[in-house]
Structures are given as C-alpha cells and as structure tokens.
Amino acid sequence: MYHFFVKQEQIGETTIRISGTDVNHIKNVLRMGPGEEILLSNGVDKDYLCEIESVSADEVTATILEVREGGSELPVKLYLFQGLPKSDKMELIIQKAVELGVYQIIPVETKRAVVKLDKKKEESKIKRWSAVSESAAKQSKRLLIPEVAGVKTLREAFEYAKEFDLLLLPFEHAEGMTHTREIISRIKPGMKVGIFIGPEGGFEDGEVELGGTYGANTITLGKRILRTETAGLFVLSVLAFQLESV
C-alpha cells in the first residue's frame, strides 16, 4: 500500500485532502484513482487508512476508513550523530537509519572528516538528505519523517545531546562486550538516546575524551572494525531489535 504524509490542517473529520507534489505522483506516476486504498500519516501520532474519493489536477480527496495511533515508531527516540563521510555515503546512512527507526539524524564535523561543507553546500545537502529521509519514511511506513538537522561541530553536538538520557560512542579501544551489553540494557521506553559515530578514520582520542566530559559511554561493536556507514546502522539494528514492541 502506498504511503504519504499530510499536514494536520489537511485532515478533516471524515476526509483528507492531499495537495502539492504528491498529487502528481498519485495521479500520473502511480495512476491511482477512486476506490483505491492509501495510507496517510500526520507525521506526529496517527496513521490513516483511506480510500481515494476523487482525483483532480491539484488535489486528491480521500475518505478516512480507519485511524491507527502509535504507528510503527520505536518506544525510544534514537538520535544518530553521524561524522560526515565521503562521497554519497550519507544518503545510504540516512536511508537505512530511517528504515531502522531513527528519530533524528545530525551530521557532525569532526577532526578526521575529509568532507567540509560551506553554508551554500550545506543547505543543498540538507535539502537532498531530507528528501532521502522522506522517501525512506514513506517506504518503511514510518509515522513521521525523521529530521536531518544542520551540520554541527562535535562540541555543538555534545551540547545538543547533554540532556539526553544516554549517550553511546562506539570506539575501537572501548571495554569488552560485557560492558557494552550492560550499557545498552539501561535503555528503557521513553528515553532519548544519542549515538555518536566517527567518520572514516574514527574519532581522535581527544574527541572521545570530550565526549566523556558530557557523559558519553564508550562501547565496543565487537572484534571487527566497521566502516562509518556500517557502525551506526549496526547500533540502530541492535537497539531496534531490543526495543521493538510486539
């Protein structure tokens, strides 16, 4: 079933009116018409199973058949602080992180990051990355579209996350898996958890020490060294498996 997002003002008591670029996609790309079912989300707390009532040049009207609360979201808000990677790796990271249930993605400048973005490039990248997030949210039937925030320095990222319930920082010199399992076992529904991933080359020791001053817990991801585009997804997969409600 095809999935789209709508704003609260588009939702009526019995119908939802879809406008904007989604109209062209529904009408001309998917070639959907009256009588076909569609899933709509308000991006906050509700999914709506609907039946298309009418299709015009600039609007699709759908009748609400069922309202579903809670949706497919994890019971914990997971924030991925991703060190800027090279080439188009960030798009892959965002796509898969959204599928795995991330709540927000924050690109981070670190000392070993090869990529440096000026303001103009950053605005263009954020726009592209946000589109990737929206597409992945539709595909995976998320209740909301995870925000891709503006690029932060590592210190700014730690400041942003200092009130979170738990901060995780995978590091190759961290203690063994027993320690990591103990840290992860602390995560409970309702918490906000920050996951800090270094770029190619990882974090410098001084950056890990900086994280420690903000209460970040260094953890290991096992005996193998993972690429930056793998590490965050590994952590998200482990947490999603542990936290996923039945």
> For 191-246, what is each residue's pLDDT tens digit?
999 999 999 989 999 999 999 999 999 999 988 889 999 999 999 999 999 988 65
As annotated, the residues of the chain forming the CATH 3.40.1280.10 domain(s) are 77-243
Could you give the CA distance from residue 95 to residue 205 in angstroms, rounded to a whole number? 29
Burial class (CB in 10 A: 0-12, 13-18, 19+), 10: middle
Any bridge partners for residue 194, and if so which? 79, 167
What CATH number does the domain located at 3-69 have?
A: 2.40.240.20
pLDDT tens per residue across span 65-103: 999 886 678 999 999 999 999 888 999 999 999 999 999
> According to DSSP H, which parts of the chain are helical?
21-24, 89-99, 119-139, 154-161, 177-184, 205-213, 228-243
pTM comes to 0.86
pLDDT score, position 246: 52
User: What was the pLDDT predicted at 121?
Assistant: 86
Across the beta sheet with 60-69, the strand order is 3-5, 37-41, 46-55, 60-69, 15-18
Tokens describing residue 187: 């995560």
The stretch 137-143 carries a mean pLDDT of 91
Distances from the Cα of 238 to the Cα of 66, 231, 243, angstroms: 32, 11, 9
Locate CATH 2.40.240.20 in the chain. Answer: 3-69
The CATH architecture annotation of domain 77-243 reads 3-Layer(aba) Sandwich (3.40)
pLDDT at 53: 95
Check if the beta carbon of residue 88 is closer than 8 Å to that of residue 125.
no
